[in-house]
Amino acid sequence: MPAPVSYHPDHGVAVLRTPNSCYALRLGADGSPRHLYWGRPLPVDGLLALPAPRSPAASSFEDEAAADELGIQTGARFGPAGLQVRFADGTAGAQWQGAEPRIEGGELRLRLTDRRFPLAAELCYRVRPDTDVIERWTELTHTGTAHDGPVTVTRLDSAAWTAPRLADYRIGHLVGGWNSEFRLHRDRLPVAETVLTSRRGLTGHHAAPWLALDDGTATEEHGEVRSTALAWSGSWRITVHRDPVGRTTWTGGYGHEGLTWTLRPGETLRTPVFAGLFTADGFGGASRAWHAYVRTAVLPQPLGDLPVLYNSWEATGFAVDHAGQLRLARLAARLGAELFVLDDGWFGERRSDRAGLGDWTPRADAFPDGLRPLADAVHGLGLRFGLWVEPEMVNPDSDLHRAHPDWVLHSPTRDATALRHQLVLDFSRPEVEAWAHRTLDRLVRDNAVDWLKWDANRPFTEAGGPARPGEPGQSDPDRVWIDHVHAVHRIMDRLRADHPGLRIEACAGGGGRVDLAVLARTDQAWTSDNTDPVDRITVQHGYSQLLPARTMAAWVTDSPNPATGRTTPLRFRFHVAMAGALGLGGDLTRWSEEELAEAADLVAAYKRIRPLVQHGDQYRLTTEAGTTAVHYAAADGTEHAVLAWRPTTHFGHPAAPLRLPALDPGAHYRDLGTGRTHSGALLHHRGLDLDLPPGDYASRLVHLRRTDG
């Protein structure tokens, strides 16, 4: 078994191996590491013999460095540079004097030092056991003294990735907006630079820091796919460059254009991880490999089932009080919920979105004895107690803002833009971070909080005013774009460490901050404020490209749906939400006895398939005529759950049999709903008859158990 990371000094070649792929790079004569290979496993002698990537035309006009592992601005390089710097004397761009590779604790580190100036970049690579994901990041250090002056950084990407020469290139990426997150687009990659970005200070609803590249022929279960994801919860940029001579590279990292950061002597900037994955098993194979990586290497608490939660937001909005919340909690407990989450409206003068944010003490008129009596009553019902917070934000009409008007992101000479009547607190200021941590820590402790829903309902504006040297966090104003995000991560990490039972749900006006970095310190993400089940099928399809179902919060809410006005049956709403971490979010006081009874049955059905949905392997399935399905298989292949949905009937035609390619053709499976046993070969090759009821919004849950060996 070859080592996961190796360096071959005679050839200047480093090789990383995962179970189903390998990655190789060569140190170039000019000191820049160049990409050699990323694809199916190859023997080392083949990799060592590979020629260095060269421009196809020998011309003084051609870019010779398209395959840099991290692009710089010097030499015949004309693509997007991942490292852009300016030194104290005005010189732009690094020029390396050779790399020193070392392998440390399973990591490959290539240290590059500038020929003239006090700058070192370490390109870092890590392979995690049992996944095909390669993690990459960069550490940039000012190696000089005060005498050398600062180094100004205008771009510091985590890594650049290179695709092999393909007949064509197609990019899969996620687009959206509030109420319409995670919509998958697959577009032919233009011969151009394509920029995916968020300039919002948050990961963003509009684009996700993930992409998948193929030659245009990959399908759900076949074909080579190269896919990357950036672990960052603030602004980011990924630039994909398909050049006119057929090469494709992409460079990505935090920040967006126009920001500068000052690197001080002795200081190191460490970028977020930009993870990459190769698979030969199509888009489904890529997603399953990402899901396994997220479960084993990213999530802080990968084991155990996530609870069925009830959240009061869609039922009560801001009109919360002790009695009303307890009434909902009792009904939720009756349905089988295991966690009750009190959402917005419980604090300060928060009777609408116009006031109170920042004042994290319970509203005296709604909770006269504080929150503890509600928490105790909820615990008494056998449910865990969850609480909504939005710690990074403040309403100008709040005691916090009146006391600390300077704590918000602002520029003294510019008007601050209020969005949803709120401003963003500057978490890059140590005293603001300390206040936020203290406030949350006390809330959790005093109220026996088991679950925090951490929301953020607006992007940054007017971030980075004039430098105010000497003031904490203000000497390098653009640093707020990075430092704020690190402070959010740090607070979450500290809360988890100090309260080991605490779980956190990531939220930013729905799915505005969902990424590998936030999921490293949270347990699930609120996918979208749009809970319409038809729209959710699309949203969930996109979400599942990178992230596993256990992280995807999915509520059943009232019908007609508040976002779309669409009326759908309870069963259909449940069957769609059961494909993720099931929650309930409707006004249960208005549900009929029949609806409550049906909902309780469906919650119980979810609990029976929950281990499959939350820990199993996911296969996305489609039949013709608008029926889609998702199949979750236990790792040992003994149990399977299939959820199939047909929002609209077409000509009254029955759905085609649903083929289940993940089943073992040599085995037999019993349908626990009908009691019928089917041969695996039949389900695999011919398909399962879904027997969907006639009409729109038809759905079915099938739970299969293997009956033999």
Task: Report the catalytic residues.
Answer: 455, 529
User: By rule CB under 6 A, what string of x and - marks binding of each residue 310-329 to ligand DGJ?
Assistant: ---x----------------
Q: Does residue 560 have a cis bond before it (omega within 30 degrees)?
A: yes
Interacting positions 167-226 with ligand DGJ (CB under 6 A)? none
Instruction: For residue 92, give the amino acid letter.
Output: A
Three-class secondary structure of residue 24 per DSSP: strand
Query: Which of helix, strand or coil describes residue 544?
Result: coil
Q: Residue 251 forms beta bridges with which residues?
A: 160, 239
Dihedral angle sign, alpha carbons of residues 688, 602, 609, 552: positive
Shortest approach of ligand DGJ to residue 443 CB, angstroms? 16
Least distance (Å) between residue 354 CB and ligand DGJ: 12
Q: Tell me which residues in 374-433 interact with ligand DGJ (CB under 6 A).
A: 388
Phi/psi of residue 329, nearest 5 degrees: -65, -40
Between 387 and 502, name the residue whose CB sits nearer to ligand DGJ: 387
To the nearest whole angstrom, how small is the minimum distance from the Cβ of residue 530 to ligand DGJ? 10
Report helix angle 533-543 to 570-577, nearest 10.
Answer: 10
How many angstroms separate the CA atoms of 55 and 77, rounded? 11
Q: What is the DSSP letter of 445?
A: H
Q: Is residue 704 within 8 Å of residue 682, measured between CB atoms?
A: no
Choice from 150, 272, 464, 509 touching ligand DGJ (CB under 6 A): 509
- Residues 64, 68, 181, 343: which binds ligand DGJ (CB under 6 A)? 343
In terms of CB distance, is 473 or 586 closer to ligand DGJ?
586
- Residues touching ligand DGJ, count (CB under 6 A): 11
Q: Which of 182, 526, 574, 632 binds ligand DGJ (CB under 6 A)?
A: 526
What DSSP letter does each residue of 215-269 carry, written as one string? -S---SSSB-EEEEEE--SS-EEEEEEE-TTS-EEEEEEES-TT--EEEPTT-EE
Q: Which stretch binds ligand DGJ (CB under 6 A): 507-515, 569-577, 647-655, 663-671?
A: 507-515
Nearer to ligand DGJ, 276 or 512 (CB): 512
63 or 344: CB nearest ligand DGJ: 344
Smaller CB separation from ligand DGJ, 319 or 597: 319
Residues of 117-154 as b/e, b for ≥16 C-beta within 10 angstroms? bbbbbbbbbbbbeebbbbbbbbbbbbebeeebbbbbbb
> Where in 278-317 is the site for ligand DGJ (CB under 6 A)?
313
| Interface region with ligand DGJ, contact rule CB under 6 A, candidates 83-91, 208-216, 379-387, 502-510 | 502-510
Angle among Cα 558, 563, 568 to the nearest 5 degrees reads 45
Helix axes 480-498, 430-446, angle to 10 degrees: 30
- Is 529 an interacting residue with respect to ligand DGJ (CB under 6 A)? yes
Is there binding between residue 510 and ligand DGJ (CB under 6 A)?
yes
Tokens of 620: 């996305």
CA 558, CA 155: separation in Å to the nearest integer? 47
> What whole-number distance in Å separates Cα of residue 122 and Cα of residue 432?
32
Task: Choose the binding region for ligand DGJ from 187-195, 425-433, 506-514, 565-573 (rule: CB under 6 A).
Answer: 506-514
Q: Which is closer to ligand DGJ, CB of 535 or CB of 617?
A: 535
Q: In what order do the strands lie in the sheet with 83-86?
A: 83-86, 151-156, 261-263
Residue of 455, 483, 523, 639 interacting with ligand DGJ (CB under 6 A):
455
What is residue 512's DSSP assignment?
S
Element (H, E) at 309: strand 309-311
Least distance (Å) from ligand DGJ to the CB of residue 361? 18
Cβ-based nearer residue to ligand DGJ, 138 or 395: 395
Q: Please identify, using beta-carbon distances, which residue of 455 and 523 lies nearer to ligand DGJ.
A: 455
Contact between 344 and ligand DGJ by CB under 6 A: the answer reads yes
Closest CA to 27 of 140, 111, 85: 111
Residue 531 lies near ligand DGJ (rule: CB under 6 A): no
Query: Smallest distance, Å, CB 541 to ligand DGJ?
Result: 20
Stretch that binds ligand DGJ, among 210-218, 229-237, 503-511, 564-572 (CB under 6 A): 503-511
What token pair was written down for 164? 């092999």
Shortest spacing between CB 437 and ligand DGJ, in angstroms: 21
d(CA 349, CA 354): 9
Question: Quick check: 507 binds ligand DGJ (CB under 6 A)?
Answer: yes
User: Up-side HSE of residue 664: CA atoms within 13 Å toward CB?
Assistant: 18
Shortest reach from residue 633's CB to ligand DGJ, in Å: 31
Question: Which C-beta is closer to ligand DGJ: that of 180 or that of 228?
Answer: 180
**Residue 347 sits in the site that holds ligand DGJ (CB under 6 A):** no
Whole-angstrom distance, CA of residue 284 vs CA of residue 261: 39
Smallest separation (angstroms) from ligand DGJ to the CB of 584:
13
CB atoms within 10 A of CB 405: 13
Q: CB of residue 457 vs ligand DGJ: minimum separation in angstroms?
A: 5
Residue nearest to ligand DGJ (CB): 344
Does 457 bind ligand DGJ (CB under 6 A)? Our answer is yes
* CA pair distance 476, 71, nearest whole angstrom: 25
Pick the closest to residue 570 from 560, 581, 562, 579 (CA basis): 560
Tell me how far, at minimum, the Cβ of 620 lies from ligand DGJ, in Å. Answer: 25
Q: Which is nearer to ligand DGJ, 344 or 515 (CB)?
A: 344
Under rule CB under 6 A, residue 272 binds ligand DGJ:
no
Q: At which residue do the structure tokens 């990659």 appear? A: 189
Q: Is 515 in the site for ligand DGJ (CB under 6 A)?
A: no
Binding site for ligand DGJ (CB under 6 A): 313, 343-344, 388, 455, 457, 507, 509-510, 526, 529
